[in-house]
């Protein structure tokens, strides 16, 4: 890893990374310009980590698992970063990863870097800042970046859209899997991990069989290209609390990574993710800009009301609002003209 603006690993680099992440999380325009320049400069030093997404409902044992996995990976010589995507953190005042005591040993380890979820107000903003933090951690030489999310809302899709492998953690309960299937999360999973096998090994085995057969059904209906060696999502059991199953888990991750790299899928997934991210930000910017236009601000309340009340066709209202931006506002009655 070449020396660059973030410096060599150590306390000074840790402070530089924290400062850089704070910079990309800022909403000030001058900070944003600096952040763009920094990211562009660091981009050649990114992309060399393995990006692992981990999701699961509260109580599934994500922190315990990530701490155990992080320490396991550090013992093998890796440098681990842990980030989080939690759009609810603005409301709750920072939930996942906010409490440093959740990963007591990992959070103080010099070869680990842990950052709570940014509280940027909406999922798009939170996801963007986490993507940028991920790049900064890579530039600092972390070779495994874990992005954690809770199993609520659309945050799983966001995390699956910024990682190389998406792992869904499940409890050994029947019904739990149906919720994941229903919400479309199961379909995102490259690996399903049934935690807390120590509590009820029989239930875990039953859940493993159930989820395996459910996943088989999805895989039949096309994932990957024809002729390509298709990765069949695995279902593993594990006890994060007892540290049991970590080696098998990491072996499976390594085998996934090798197959994705060999087939070129890893590279094409990252390309697609970057382009999707660009368009997501463009559309978010267009929506914001639209709502801020004086003509739109003037017309939107009454047109929305007319549409909701059934007095104006929705498509007509949309066309009127789009057209209104290009006509001067001076004809509109307003305090200045009235």
Q: Which of 1, 123, 181, 329 binds a copy of itself (CB under 8 A)?
A: 181
Query: Which C-beta is closer to a copy of itself: that of 95 or that of 304?
Result: 304
Q: What is the dihedral of CA 187, 191, 192, 194, to 10 degrees?
A: 180
Q: Which two tokens stand for residue 128?
A: 């963007």
List the interface residues with a copy of itself, window 220-259 (CB under 8 A).
221
User: Which position among 85, 135, 211, 253 is part of the footprint of a copy of itself (CB under 8 A)?
Assistant: 135
Integer Cα distance of 33 and 23 in angstroms: 10
Give the nearer residue to a copy of itself in terms of CB position, either 22 or 46.
46
Scanning 82-90, 110-118, 145-153, 269-277 for contacts with a copy of itself by CB under 8 A, the matching segment is 269-277
Query: 276, 269 in Cβ contact below 8 A?
Result: no
How would DSSP label each residue in 272-305?
A: HHHHHHHHHHHHHHHHHHHHHSHHHHHHHHHHHH
Q: How many C-beta atoms surround the C-beta of residue 30 within 10 A?
A: 8
Q: Are 115 and 97 in contact (CB under 8 A)?
A: yes
**Least distance (Å) from a copy of itself to the CB of residue 204?**
21
Q: Does 262 bind a copy of itself (CB under 8 A)?
A: no
5 interacts with a copy of itself by CB under 8 A: no
Q: Which of 4, 15, 36, 247 binds a copy of itself (CB under 8 A)?
A: 36
What's phi and psi for 91, nearest 5 deg? -75, -50
Binding window for a copy of itself (CB under 8 A); candidates: 91-99, 139-147, 234-242, 309-317: 309-317
Q: Shortest distance, CB of residue 77 to a copy of itself, whole angstroms?
A: 25
- 110 makes contact with a copy of itself (CB under 8 A): no
Strand arrangement of the beta sheet that strand 234-237 belongs to: 112-114, 80-85, 144-150, 50-56, 165-170, 191-194, 234-237
CA 103 to chain centre: 20
Provide the token pair at 165: 């492998």
Residues lying near a copy of itself in the complex (CB under 8 A): 32, 36, 39-40, 43-44, 46-47, 128, 131-132, 135, 175, 178-179, 181-184, 186-187, 214, 217-218, 221, 270-271, 274-275, 277-279, 281-283, 285-287, 289-290, 303-304, 307-319, 321-322
């Amino acid at each position: 890893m070449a020396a660059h603006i973030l410096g060599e690993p150590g306390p000074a680099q840790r402070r530089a990374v924290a400062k850089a992440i704070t910079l990309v999380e800022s909403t000030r325009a001058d900070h944003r310009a600096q952040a763009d320049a920094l990211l562009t400069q660091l981009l050649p030093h990114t992309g060399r980590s393995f990006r692992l997404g981990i999701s699961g409902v509260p109580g599934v044992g994500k922190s315990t698992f990530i701490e155990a996995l992080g320490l396991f990976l550090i013992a093998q010589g890796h440098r681990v970063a842990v980030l989080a995507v939690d759009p609810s953190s603005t409301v709750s005042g920072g939930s996942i990863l906010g409490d440093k005591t959740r990963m007591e040993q990992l959070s103080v380890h010099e070869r680990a870097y842990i950052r709570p979820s940014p509280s940027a107000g909406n999922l798009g903003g939170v996801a963007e800042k986490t993507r940028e933090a991920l790049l900064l951690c890579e530039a600092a030489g972390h070779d495994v970046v874990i992005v954690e999310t809770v199993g609520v809302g659309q945050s799983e899709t966001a995390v699956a859209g910024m990682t190389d492998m998406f792992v869904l953690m499940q409890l050994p309960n029947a019904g739990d899997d149906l919720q994941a299937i229903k919400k479309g999360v199961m379909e995102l999973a490259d690996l399903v991990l049934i935690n807390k096998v120590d509590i009820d090994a029989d239930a875990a085995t039953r859940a493993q069989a159930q989820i395996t057969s459910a996943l088989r059904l999805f895989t039949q209906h096309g994932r990957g290209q024809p002729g390509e060696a298709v990765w069949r999502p695995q279902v593993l059991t594990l006890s994060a609390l007892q540290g049991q199953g970590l080696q098998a888990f990491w072996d499976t991750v390594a085998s996934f990574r090798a197959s994705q790299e060999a087939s070129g899928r890893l590279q094409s997934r990252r390309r697609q993710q970057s382009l999707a991210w660009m368009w997501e930000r463009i559309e978010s910017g267009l929506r914001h800009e639209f709502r801020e236009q004086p003509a739109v601000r003037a017309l939107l309340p009454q047109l929305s009301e007319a549409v909701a009340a059934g007095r104006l066709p929705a498509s007509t209202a949309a066309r009127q609002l789009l057209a209104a931006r290009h006509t001067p506002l001076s004809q509109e009655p307003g305090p200045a003209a009235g």
